[in-house]
Amino acid sequence: MRNTILYRARTAVLALAASCMALAPVAEACTRLVYLGPDNNVITARSMDWKLDVATNLWAFPRGMKRNGEVGPNSLEWTSRYGSVIATGYDVSTTDGMNERGLVANVLWLVESEYPKPEPGKPGLTIAAWAQYVLDNFATVAEAVDALEKEPFILISDNVPGETRLTTLHLSMSDAPGDSAIIEYIGGKQVIHHDRAYQVMTNSPVFDQQLALDAYWKQIGGTVMLPGTNRAADRFARASFYVNAIPKAEDPNRALASVFSVIRNVSVPFGITTPEEPNISSTRWRTVADHRRGLYFFESAVTPNTFWVDLRKIDFTPQTGKVLKLDLGTDQDHTYSGDATADFVPSEPFRFLGVEP
């Protein structure tokens, strides 16, 4: 009986995977995972996989910054309630980051995304500032979900910088208590998946189908066999198994080491080319956020060191806090060691990539 169930599940999964592969154009791949350890030790890791240099730098933003949705006269406006440390894409968007309350936001590629059309009278928000809006305004996932369910803005996308294809992303959030949520736009409608159990997100297919694929591999058991390719569904299965299989270490540094090992396991080797799978790209960098201790780790694929930023050492106050930048260089090849918080320098803030609705 069990073999029959597994056979049917396998058949369904293979059909689903084949359809996803057939529909997927050139896209980028990333992985996000959340470790839930003892003593409320929560760690979020993500990889950034991109075919070219994504021109990432690290920035620190204080509270009290006035923001604009950058979509013309009907743009959403807000003032940041929380300071944050973020990683950019092309220095025109926030791709990843953690705020001073321990909320983490990550955006990953999702080719199936379809965003709503602008509505008269409803403010718009550029997709380049989607993650930053979350970091600026909320302390927990539940708080963010409660606000976003009311759809206070229309999310508006545009082409990837320097390319002719539309930016199609989905958003993950995780917080210090270990809660998680995934937000996607499918068929022009916002879809929110909110549960502490949603520890892993990759790319295609859409999240509910990722959960179905994951259920299949859980029936087999990760100690028996795990898929080993760089495809999003396979990375999801490996990340889902390993993030819960690693020891739940009492020592937070040991826990960090385990989480780093998992996100490296689901990374794509630097420089790899897969002609028959153009949607697979090399891992450019990885981040690991220690929610409880306020540490944000960064690891480039082309430098020998992992370094970190200590959010507790940054002045986020609106009175004396400054916008700070850490220049990572071309391909993030600048080498920093240990605590690099002091290496940030005051800078004029970048402007989020504007979108014409």
Alpha carbon of residue 215 to chain centroid: 22
Contact by Cβ (8 Å): 213, 16: yes
Q: How many residues does the chain have?
A: 357
For residues 153 and 221, give the distance between their C-alpha atoms in angstroms, rounded to a whole number: 42
E strands within the chain? Answer: 30-36, 42-49, 58-61, 66-68, 77-79, 84-89, 93-99, 104-109, 124-126, 154-156, 169-174, 180-186, 189-194, 200-201, 283-290, 295-300, 306-310, 324-326, 338-339, 345-346
For residues 106 and 70, give the distance between their C-alpha atoms in angstroms, rounded to a whole number: 20
Secondary structure of residue 55 in the 3-state scheme: coil
- CB atoms near residue 1 (< 10 Å): 5
Q: What is the DSSP string of 178-247?
A: --EEEEEEETTEEEEEE-TT--EE-SSS-HHHHHHHHHHHHHH-TTT----SSSHHHHHHHHHHHHHHS-
Enumerate the β-bridge partners of residue 32.
46, 201
Pairing of the two strands 338-339 and 306-310? parallel
The residues annotated as belonging to the active site are 30
For residues 307 and 297, give the distance between their C-alpha atoms in angstroms, rounded to a whole number: 6
For residues 349 and 237, give the distance between their C-alpha atoms in angstroms, rounded to a whole number: 38
For residues 121 and 126, give the distance between their C-alpha atoms in angstroms, rounded to a whole number: 16
Contact by Cβ (8 Å): 287, 57: no
